[in-house]
Structure 1
């Protein structure tokens, strides 16, 4: 039996669900979430809640306690069967356990107007969940450049700025940053091919690749292909993105779970 939140039980900060990835460590399966994403949620002045996985009938209950959702990046790719293709490179990791529930989660998040911030894999799964497709190897599709990181370089170089993004005038990203273009890091082999119906481009790379998009849905939602969570506290653009997300989560919380009066 669920117990409704009383004023004294309302969280001081908005609660942001962070779906976990699945990884074998030794002989045992683990649910994991990158610390940098959790730190990004905290930078947004929100309370992160890592969710290992969920059955379809558990999703609504999770969303009942959510003021926001952050979909993380991951070494794994969305399984291409979800957009009608076979696996192109069998050496690349997949995470079908994550696919199984996040692809159901995303439309429900948007339908409720719960703020959504999706990063890298998270952006890719958002596009797929809503009916879009992906390039499995964007570097092999002219005229696109190679957006993968050089694994021989230190992580600071891999996640360092690599190219500009060109922001769509009048878009949500334009309103958040006030910048027509800025440099981002690029650490991905897959990317948006066909954008799902109802999604709107927010920014592109110089080679035309979709780098950010949002859905025509109530509430704040932004999906980005780069990694704003990397050293976010020292990056002005990242601080603006997480700040806007956090403000949206707080506004959602206040509409649905008003804070106790002083």
Structure 2
């Protein structure tokens, strides 16, 4: 039996950038991404991950955009800075301004080139802000249900369990892929969409009215989800579809990339 890593679909994998978080371990400044994102990209999407550092030293992301066939904006412990969307910063708010700096440039540059994008959790929020949308800095203070909350005291293997359902938009891509009206998701977050960015369409919504998935209307593939499909990509149909279809979009983009190199 041919393994996924040796199949023809993976023989010439496209390069896909993952935006890193920037954080301290002791006294040392680090850039990093969770292994679950790397694994889902390699094993399910069939692409070759490339890590992009979070640093304000990057003033022009064009060199990355010239060689990449896709971008993944992952979740992270920090929050998108409210200053980027005219919000107020709650006390104790964890920020990563270096990641904000790089992510906003990459999203806007990718859109102009038609570069495929998959945005997850924090990345989903970054995508909305990059398109002029706003966020609730704290969805619980805004009155949304507690079932979005991450319980840090839970063991890791249960922390990312399915927390609630979302309703899939009748005319959306996710509804078309699954042929279902409702999906169970492992959505864990503090920030959430307040107003939808221009050029975006809602793909899924919680019963409390919070948007949980979006897409760029005019893009071949540019989708953001509030939940964590990277955790369940090997077992869950919708999660797997997000990564396999993202990988397919990146492979479609490769000929266009070769022409502009």
> TM-score normalized by structure 1?
0.89
SS of structure 2 residue aligned to 1:257: helix
Matched, 1:40 2:36: no
User: For the residues of structure 2 that align with 1:62 and 1:16, how far apart are their CA atoms?
Assistant: 10
| CA deviation map 1:72-114 (0-9, x unaligned) | 000100111111123113x232100101121121111111111
**2:256 matched residue in structure 1:** 255
**2:82 matched residue in structure 1:** 80
**1:20 matched residue in structure 2:** 20
Structure 2 unaligned regions, length at least 5: 1-10
**1:241 matched residue in structure 2:** 242
User: For the residues of structure 1 that align with 2:257 and 2:208, how far apart are their CA atoms?
Assistant: 42
Q: Cα offset for 1:33?
A: 0.8
Q: Cα offset for 1:56?
A: 5.2
Q: Are 1:56 and 1:104, in contact at CA under 8 Å, matched by a contact in 2?
A: no
Structure 1 unaligned regions, length at least 5: 1-10
Structure 1 residues 197, 144: closer, same or farther in 2, change over 3 A? farther
Superposed counterparts of 1:153-168, under 5 Å:
153-168=154-169
User: For the residues of structure 1 that align with 2:25 and 2:104, how far apart are their CA atoms?
Assistant: 25
Aligned residue pairs, count: 247
Aligned-pair RMSD on alpha carbons? 1.6
Q: Are 1:127 and 1:133, in contact at CA under 8 Å, matched by a contact in 2?
A: yes
User: For the residues of structure 2 that align with 1:143 and 1:101, how far apart are their CA atoms?
Assistant: 30
Structure 1 residues 104, 245: closer, same or farther in 2, change over 3 A? same
SS of structure 2 residue aligned to 1:24: strand
Q: Are 1:166 and 1:206, in contact at CA under 8 Å, matched by a contact in 2?
A: yes
SS of structure 1 residue aligned to 2:124: helix
Matched, 1:202 2:203: yes
User: For the residues of structure 1 that align with 2:177 and 2:250, how far apart are their CA atoms?
Assistant: 15
Q: Cα offset for 1:58?
A: 3.2
Superposed counterparts of 1:1-262, under 5 Å:
12-42=12-42, 43-53=44-54, 55=57, 57-89=59-91, 91-257=92-258
User: For the residues of structure 1 that align with 2:173 and 2:112, how far apart are their CA atoms?
Assistant: 19
User: For the residues of structure 1 that align with 2:35 and 2:58, how far apart are their CA atoms?
Assistant: 26
Q: Cα offset for 1:254?
A: 3.0
Q: Cα offset for 1:140?
A: 1.9
Q: Are 1:19 and 1:53, in contact at CA under 8 Å, matched by a contact in 2?
A: yes
| CA deviation map 1:41-95 (0-9, x unaligned) | 1120100001113655431111010100000000100111111123113x23210
User: For the residues of structure 2 that align with 1:142 and 1:87, how far apart are their CA atoms?
Assistant: 17
User: For the residues of structure 2 that align with 1:95 and 1:134, how far apart are their CA atoms?
Assistant: 16
